[in-house]
Amino acid sequence: MLLLSAMSGRWLRGGKPRAVLAAVLFAVAAGGCNMFDKDKVLPDEAPDKLYNEGLYLLNVKNEPKAAAKKFDEVDRQQPYSEWARKSLVMSAYAYYNAKEYEDSISSAQRYVTLHPGSADAPYAQYLIASSYYDQIPDITRDQARTEKAMSALEEVIRKFPNTEYANAAKQKIEVARDQLAGKEMMIGRYYLTKKDFIGGINRFKVVITKYQTTRHVEEALERLTEAYMALGIVAEAQTAAAVLGHNFPDSPWYKDAYQLVKSGGKEPLENQGSWISKAFKGIGLG
């Protein structure tokens, strides 16, 4: 039971390859620890031996990159065998644990292409998404990988909607959406400091229309109030403040927006024809 106990608690959140649990028993039966050599791979080694060596390196020695090489060798020697199928998903998992994300994506994509209807296909698809997700940069940098993560996570939900991986993907999508909204807010604030109010409004509009369920929406409405007041477009400022107050009455951002409107001698007042009002009514708010 050495390998089985060593494996517990180290699977990617959301699940694990189904083929592995049974295969661990083979690794235990294969012999003692001395049989495993992480650096030596002979072309004529039996696939089950390579596979079990990979399991040992992954789960006992905690050397995921070395383990992935063993699994890759199985796929190289016998690419269409059952051992290769098992090894391919384990290769993706091992590379993921080694933070070799591009290699993990490559192995997982190959698995999904070759075995789209297998029990581990949802897991492989989730590994692709998680590899992109774990590379999401901070909001000061380009968010291309965040976009890729969003797309890959949505693919998990589309292809495998009734799995545990779909539920995990939904949670990660919300984090990714918040990241993208944060990037828009950062740029919008910068425009305001430069008195480029139109540029700022365009960025805050993205938050309102695309990322309305994120934590940034309250500030976006207050910033819209600020920008519209600065431009003298008071009706839109009133609407932004009114929508903010209606949906988030206790928000400190509403207090600021209210004071901005009051400073112009007006009260928050929603214009039903405003794009702001329409955007919120689109999801049942406002």
- What does the pLDDT look like over 1-56, one tens digit per residue? 333 333 333 344 445 565 554 444 444 444 444 445 555 555 568 999 999 999 99
pLDDT of residue 189: 98
The pLDDT tens digits of the residues spanning 128-174 come to 999 999 999 999 999 999 999 999 999 999 999 999 999 999 999 99
pLDDT of residue 54: 97
pLDDT of residue 254: 98
Q: Which residue ranges does the chain devote to CATH 1.25.40? A: 181-286
Using CB atoms within 10 Å of the CB of residue 16, give its burial: 0 to 12 exposed, 13 to 18 middle, 19+ buried: middle
The pLDDT tens digits of the residues spanning 89-140 come to 999 999 999 999 999 999 999 999 999 999 999 999 999 999 999 999 999 9
* CATH of span 181-286: 1.25.40
The pLDDT tens digits of the residues spanning 176-206 come to 999 999 999 999 999 999 999 999 999 999 9
User: Taking Cα atoms as reference points, which of 245, 248, 253, 194 lies closest to residue 222?
Assistant: 253
User: Higher pLDDT residue, 222 or 79?
Assistant: 222
pTM of the model: 0.78
Report the distance separating Cα 173 and Cα 168, nearest Å: 9
Q: Give me the torsion for CA of 127, 133, 135, 141, rounded to 10°.
A: 160
pLDDT of residue 3: 33
The rounded mean pLDDT for the chain is: 87
